[in-house]
Amino acid sequence: MQTPNTKAVIPGYWEGCEYVTTLPPTPEGKFKAERNCTGLMEVRKKNPLSYKVTGMKAHYGRADIKKALVELDKTLSLGIQIAFASWFQPCDKRYHCDPKNPTVVDHTGTLVATQCVPCPTERVFATVDCCVFAQKAMVSMQGEWYMQATEPLITEGGHAVSIVGYNDHYRDEHGSTGGFILRNSWKDGLGTSHGLKARGSHTAAYYAQLLSPADESQFCPNPNSPRNWNACGDVKACKSKMTEMTVAVATDGTVVTLKCQDGGNAIPKGNCDPSKDYYLVNKTGWDQQGLYTTCYVYDKGNETDAFMCLPPLTLDDVATVFVPKELPHINDPEMCGFNFISYDTFEKIGATLGISTVSSFDVEWTKCSYLVNEEQCPNYDYSYLKKAMMPLKVPYEKPTVWYTPNE
C-alpha cells in the first residue's frame, strides 16, 4: 500500500485545529468529530493573506473551455456530478460465486446479498447463467474518469477539481480519445476513500503525451496498480538472482513479489493465504468492458509451484486482493495527482446528470499577501505562511554524458 511519505503537499496554514469528538453520538452509536481551533480568531487578525475576486466567467461547451485555457493561460475550476460505473460480473462456481445465493461487494466495501441479473450479450458470457450487478467508482487507478458507454448513469454525488489543460489525442483504457487534464486532491494508494477502494494518478505531462510510460514511472510508478506488476513464470524464476538484480537497480517502482491482503473490499474473502508470497504469472482481458483474469504462482512447500487465479475482475479490484510486498518507489505527491476525463465522459455526464460548472476567476491579492513585502507590512504575522511554503518540483533532465576514450 502506498503509505510512506504522508506529508501533505501544502501544509495547513493554521496548525491549531484538531478534530475532537465533542458532538453526541448518532443513533447508530458513532461519534462525530468537529474542528476545534483554539486561538484561530486571534491568528486571523494578523493573517497577511487577503484578496478580492474582481471577475468571474462561466464556460460550457468543449470548444469554449479549450479556448479559455489557451487565452486566459490559467487553470479553470470544474464542479461536476459524480456517477457510479456499472459492471456485470459472472457468478458461477468457476468464479467463486454461488448462483443460488449470489452476493456482491457494494461500493462501500460491504458484502451484501443480491440477485442474478441478465448477463451482457458478449460471447464470453455465453456459458454464464447468472451475473451480479456491481457499482464501482468512475475513476480508475490510471487516473481516468470513465463511463460504460452502454450502461445507465447512477448519481453518486459531486466533486470539484481544476482543469489544467487538454489533449485531443490521448486515448484512455475504455477507448475514448481526447479530453481534459484535471488536477485532483485525492491521495494515491489503497483504502476506501471518495468511493474508491484503490487510487492512482499521473503527471500532467503524461496525459499531454510529453512523457513516455517509462519516463513517467520515475515520478508516478503507481505500484499498487496491477497494470504495473511484473510477471514471471514460476517461483524459481521470480526469486532468481536476475530478478533480484532487476528490482534492486530499478527506479520505476518495479513490483514482483506480492502479498495477500484479501480484505474483502471487492470480492468475498478467502482468495489467498496471507502467510505466502505470490507472483503474477499473467493477466488476460476477459471481456470487452475491462474485466481481467489474473493468475499467480506461489510456493506451496518443498519448492513446489502451485497456481491460482482470481475470477474476472477489474484491475482496480485486483489491487484490493494482492498488494506489493515492498514499495521501494511510490508516487511523488508534488508531481502526480493529475487525472484525465474524456470528452465522452464529460459530455455524457453533462447531458444526463446536468451541465457541469466550469469557471474562471480574476483574483487580486493585496500587497501584504506576498512574502516579499513582509518588511513593509509589520502588523502581520508571516510565520504560518512561511511554514506553509515549499519549493515546487519540476521535471529534471539529466546532463548529457560524453564518452572520452582517453579518460
DSSP string, 88-122: EEE-SGGGT--TTS-EEE-TTS-EEE---BPPPSS
Q: Which three cell numbers stand for residue 211?
A: 512523457
What is the identity of the amino acid at 393? K
Report the pLDDT value the prediction gives residue 5, as an integer from 0 to 100: 35
Report the alpha-carbon distance of residue 136 to residue 140 in Å, rounded: 9
Report the pLDDT value the prediction gives residue 12, as an integer from 0 to 100: 44
Residue 13 pLDDT exceeds 70: no
Q: Rounded to the nearest 5 degrees, what angle is found at the Cα of 260, between the Cα atoms of 258 and 264?
A: 135
Kindly report, residue by residue over 163-195, the tens digit of the pLDDT.
999 999 999 999 999 999 999 988 888 875 555
Report the pLDDT value the prediction gives residue 312, as an integer from 0 to 100: 94
Of 193, 139, 70, nearest in space to 314 by CA: 139
Residue 309 pLDDT exceeds 90: yes
Report the alpha-carbon distance of residue 137 to residue 145 in Å, rounded: 9
Check residue 29 and report its DSSP letter. Answer: S
% the chain with pLDDT above 70: 85
Report the pLDDT value the prediction gives residue 2, as an integer from 0 to 100: 39
Q: Please give the residue that has the higher pLDDT: either 156 or 175.
A: 175
Are the CB atoms for 186 and 199 separated by under 8 Å? yes
Q: Is 84 exposed, middle or buried (0-12, 13-18, 19+ CB in 10 A)?
A: buried
DSSP 130-181: -EEEEEEESB-TTSEE---TTS--EEEEEEEEEEEEEEEEEE-TTS-EEEEE
> What phi and psi values does residue 384 have, to the nearest 5 degrees?
-70, -35
Return the domain boundaries, the chain: 51-360
Confidence of residue 121 (pLDDT cuts 50, 70, 90): very high
Report the alpha-carbon distance of residue 235 to residue 124 in Å, rounded: 31
Name the range with the highest mean pLDDT among 7-11, 93-97, 99-103, 146-150: 99-103
Report the pLDDT value the prediction gives residue 395, as an integer from 0 to 100: 59
pTM: 0.84
Report the pLDDT value the prediction gives residue 310, as an integer from 0 to 100: 94
Of 158, 174, 166, nearest in space to 209 by CA: 166
Residue 34 pLDDT exceeds 80: no
Are the CB atoms for 220 and 331 separated by under 8 Å? yes
Q: Which three cell numbers stand for residue 314?
A: 477489474
User: 3-state DSSP call for residue 57?
Assistant: strand
- Residue 148 neighbours by CB distance under 10 Å: 18
Q: Please give the residue that has the higher pLDDT: either 275 or 190.
A: 275
Residue 401 pLDDT exceeds 80: no
What is the identity of the amino acid at 134? A
Confidence of residue 7 (pLDDT cuts 50, 70, 90): very low
Residue 250 pLDDT exceeds 50: yes
Task: Taking residues 98-126, report their average pLDDT.
Answer: 89
Spatial CB neighbours of 142, under 8 Å, sequence gap ≥ 6: 172, 173, 200, 202, 222, 225, 227, 340
